[in-house]
Amino acid sequence: MSEQCSWCGAPVDEDGGFRATEPEGDRRAAFCRLEHVVPWIINGAHWEPGRIVELGDDGVALGVCAQCGGDLGDTRVLLVRHRGAHRIADAFCRLDHLLEWAKRGGRWRTGV
Asked, for residue 112, whether it belongs to a domain, the answer is no
Q: For residue 17, give the nearest of 3, 29, 32 by alpha carbon.
A: 32
Distance CA 87, CA 44 (A): 26
Give domain status of residue 31, yes or no.
yes
Per the structure, the complete domain to which residue 61 belongs is given by 3-107
How does residue 72 score in pLDDT terms, banded at 50, 70 and 90?
confident
> Cβ contacts of residue 9 below 8 Å, gap of 6+?
none
* Total domains present in the chain: 1
Q: What is the mean pLDDT of the chain?
A: 88
pLDDT for 54 beyond 70: no
- pLDDT greater than 70 at residue 81: yes
Mean pLDDT, range 98-107, rounded to an integer: 94
